[in-house]
């Protein structure tokens, strides 16, 4: 494999997070009864005309901006014509000639901690096709997916390894997720990945025959399919054989790519301008408004957490591992709690509770105010770290206010000076001999002894800072 340079380009189809489809009013929803979410436009009824989903255009603009692309404000659509059962209209509305975005870039981190910019050729808007379900000798068609808005993001062939490919797709996925462009669930098909791969001798400037691996549905499969294909193509070339230009799929059961079809001549889709959608000139003020309202990019957050909030890289990555978890953390920050304390409780106590129940943070009953209140009461000396261990699970499962949990379960520290003095008096009397003989030479030992006994009789429910101050003052009087 070291004899050859690996050439990889990636095409990602991304399902847009809109309530209705890209060119029709039919709803977008996952898991509904087959053929219940399609309307006349999706099914190609005569006279049913498309309309452009404004929210879909907005999401495409956000993606273009995040990927540093040139934006074409004159929105134009084309028809891609072909006959296939999953395309009942006989054509797909797309942007062949004038993509909304082009010439972008996305930075990835390499294994040696250096960075590389992956060039992106284009981003265009189009509609999805129906879902095919193959059963023995028949194929079922579900048109619920037909017409759902997509953006197709096409990288240039500048990726050189399975590692770079995974980093690129993962970074792209993270951006699309955090900007609310898509839920990017590869298992549900809202992010689909096609990899084009070929090999060439080092120093050779041309390209070998490329093999396309279709519909990879996980980052792990992206990695494994590329690694297998590099090995397969290398063996063919070294044995004097020709790598055929073909389409393959990755079979998880045997962990190999499997032939789907051999490519011969390029298919002539007879593209032409979509006659039922006139060109739309996007208003510059509206475009600016959309882009200015864009949420913070995940990599910007990552740098802020590490550099400004002084969180560790591991803690930062966990806090960015899901949008819901990150929103929880950000909400706690807005309330005004200490970032490190918030992070520690999320990553230790709350994470443990979530893992135990196998749920996400939004499925629990704990909210950012719970954690902010716990930290506030802890800093004010009203509760102890020991109390937090008892309060968090109750808030997590019940959703009750922290103050109510404290009262109901008697989890408040004793802070009243008179009450502490009253508890301390018999302890001092029991240890009077120790105080008289050892306090002058070993004051810390005596103070710790009394403090330990005070903690024991109160079950740890006494303010340690206030208590040690009172003990010191009382010992001075006894001496």
Q: Do residues 257 and 378 both lie within one domain? A: no
Task: Note the pLDDT of residue 479.
Answer: 58
Task: Note the pLDDT of residue 175.
Answer: 96
Tell me if 289 is assigned to some domain.
no
Q: Do residues 397 and 429 both lie within one domain? A: no
Query: What is d(CA 381, CA 41) in angstroms, rounded to the nearest whole number?
Result: 64
Q: In this predicted model, what pLDDT tens digit does every residue of 341-359 receive, in sequence order?
A: 999 999 999 999 999 999 9
What residues contact 10, with CB distance under 8 A and at least 6 apart? Answer: 154, 155, 159, 165, 168, 169, 193, 194, 195, 196
Give the three-class secondary structure for 214: strand
* Six-digit token string for 251: 């079979």
Tell me if 50 is assigned to some domain.
yes
Query: What is d(CA 422, CA 106) in angstroms, rounded to the nearest whole number?
Result: 67
Query: What dihedral angle (degrees, nearest 10) is formed by the CA atoms of 404, 405, 407, 408?
Result: 110
Task: Note the pLDDT of residue 265.
Answer: 62
Query: What is d(CA 268, CA 190) in angstroms, rounded to the nearest whole number?
Result: 27
Q: Is 291 exposed, middle or buried (0-12, 13-18, 19+ CB in 10 A)?
A: middle
Domain boundary among 281, 305, 330: 281
Q: Do residues 317 and 247 both lie within one domain? A: no
Q: Do residues 437 and 344 both lie within one domain? A: no
Contact 191/176 with Cβ under 8 angstroms?
Answer: yes
Query: What is d(CA 275, CA 280) in angstroms, rounded to the nearest whole number?
Result: 13
Task: Note the pLDDT of residue 228.
Answer: 96
Q: Kindly state the DSSP code that residue 91 receives in the 8-state scheme.
A: E
Q: Which residue has the tokens 């992206």?
A: 222
**258: domain range?**
4-281
Say if strands 211-216 and 246-251 run parallel, antiparallel, or are unpaired: parallel
Query: pTM for this structure?
Result: 0.84
Task: Note the pLDDT of residue 277.
Answer: 97
Task: Note the pLDDT of residue 448.
Answer: 87
CA distances for 225 relative to 59, 161, 173, 195, 214, angstroms:
30, 11, 19, 9, 10
Tell me if 291 is assigned to some domain.
no
Q: Do residues 186 and 220 both lie within one domain? A: yes
Q: Do residues 191 and 339 both lie within one domain? A: no
Domain count, the chain: 3
Task: Note the pLDDT of residue 154.
Answer: 98
CB atoms closer than 10 angstroms to residue 433: 8
Task: Note the pLDDT of residue 2.
Answer: 64
CB atoms closer than 10 angstroms to residue 52: 16
Q: Do residues 205 and 222 both lie within one domain? A: yes
* CATH number, domain containing residue 463: 1.10.10
Tell me the angle at which helices 162-178 and 219-238 cross, rounded to the nearest 10 degrees: 150
Buried-state track 394-420, b at ≥16 Cβ within 10 A, e below 16: bbbeeeeebeebbeeeebbbeeeeeeb
Task: Note the pLDDT of residue 441.
Answer: 81
Task: Note the pLDDT of residue 264.
Answer: 63
CA distances for 458 relative to 392, 418, 419, 451, 465, angstroms:
21, 15, 11, 11, 15
Tell me if 290 is assigned to some domain.
no
CA distances for 123 relative to 57, 238, 291, angstroms:
12, 37, 16
CB atoms closer than 10 angstroms to residue 88: 16
Query: What is d(CA 56, CA 52) in angstroms, rounded to the nearest whole number?
Result: 8
Task: Note the pLDDT of residue 333.
Answer: 95
Domain boundary among 281, 307, 326: 281
Task: Note the pLDDT of residue 123.
Answer: 98
> Residues of the chain whose pLDDT is less than 50?
1
């Amino acid at each position: 494999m070291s004899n050859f340079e690996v050439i990889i380009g990636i095409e990602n189809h991304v399902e847009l997070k809109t309530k209705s489809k890209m060119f029709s009013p039919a709803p977008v929803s996952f898991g509904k009864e087959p053929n219940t979410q399609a309307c006349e436009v999706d099914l190609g009824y005569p006279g049913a005309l498309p309309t452009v989903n404004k929210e879909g255009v907005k999401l495409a603009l956000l993606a273009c901006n995040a990927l540093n692309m040139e934006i074409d404000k004159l929105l134009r659509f084309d028809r891609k014509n072909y006959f296939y059962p999953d395309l009942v209209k006989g054509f797909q509305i797309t942007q062949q000639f004038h993509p909304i975005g082009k010439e972008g870039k996305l930075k990835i981190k390499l294994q040696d901690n250096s960075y590389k910019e992956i060039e992106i050729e284009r981003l265009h808007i189009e509609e999805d096709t129906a879902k095919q379900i193959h059963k023995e000798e028949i194929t079922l068609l579900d048109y619920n997916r037909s017409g759902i808005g997509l953006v197709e993001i096409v990288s240039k062939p500048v990726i050189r390894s399975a590692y770079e490919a995974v980093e690129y797709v993962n970074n792209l996925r993270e951006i699309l997720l955090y900007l609310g462009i898509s839920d990017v669930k590869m298992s549900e098909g809202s992010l689909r990945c096609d990899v084009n791969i070929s090999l060439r001798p080092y120093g050779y400037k041309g390209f070998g025959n490329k093999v396309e691996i279709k519909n990879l549905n996980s980052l792990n499969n992206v990695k494994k399919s590329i690694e297998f294909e590099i090995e397969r193509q290398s063996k063919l070339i070294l044995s004097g054989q020709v790598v055929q230009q073909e389409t393959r799929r990755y079979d998880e059961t045997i962990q190999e790519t499997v032939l789907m079809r051999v490519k011969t001549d390029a298919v002539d889709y007879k593209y032409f301008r979509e006659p039922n959608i006139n060109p739309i000139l996007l208003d510059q003020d509206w475009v600016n408004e959309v882009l200015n309202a864009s949420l913070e990019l995940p990599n910007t957050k990552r740098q802020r957490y590490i550099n400004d909030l002084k969180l560790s890289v591991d803690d930062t990555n966990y806090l960015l591992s899901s949008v819901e978890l990150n929103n929880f953390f950000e909400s706690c920050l807005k309330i005004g709690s200490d970032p490190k304390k918030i992070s520690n409780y999320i990553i230790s106590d709350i994470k443990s509770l979530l893992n135990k129940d196998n749920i996400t943070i939004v499925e629990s009953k704990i909210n950012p105010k719970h954690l902010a209140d716990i930290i506030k009461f802890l800093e004010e000396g009203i509760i102890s770290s020991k109390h937090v261990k008892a309060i968090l699970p109750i808030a997590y499962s019940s959703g009750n206010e922290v103050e109510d949990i404290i009262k109901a379960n008697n989890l408040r520290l004793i802070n009243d000076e008179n009450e502490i003095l009253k508890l301390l008096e018999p302890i001092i009397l029991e240890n009077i001999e120790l105080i008289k003989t050892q306090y002058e030479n070993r004051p810390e030992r005596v103070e710790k002894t009394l403090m330990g006994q005070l903690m024991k009789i109160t079950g740890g429910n006494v303010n340690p800072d206030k208590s040690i101050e009172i003990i010191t003052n009382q010992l001075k009087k006894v001496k």
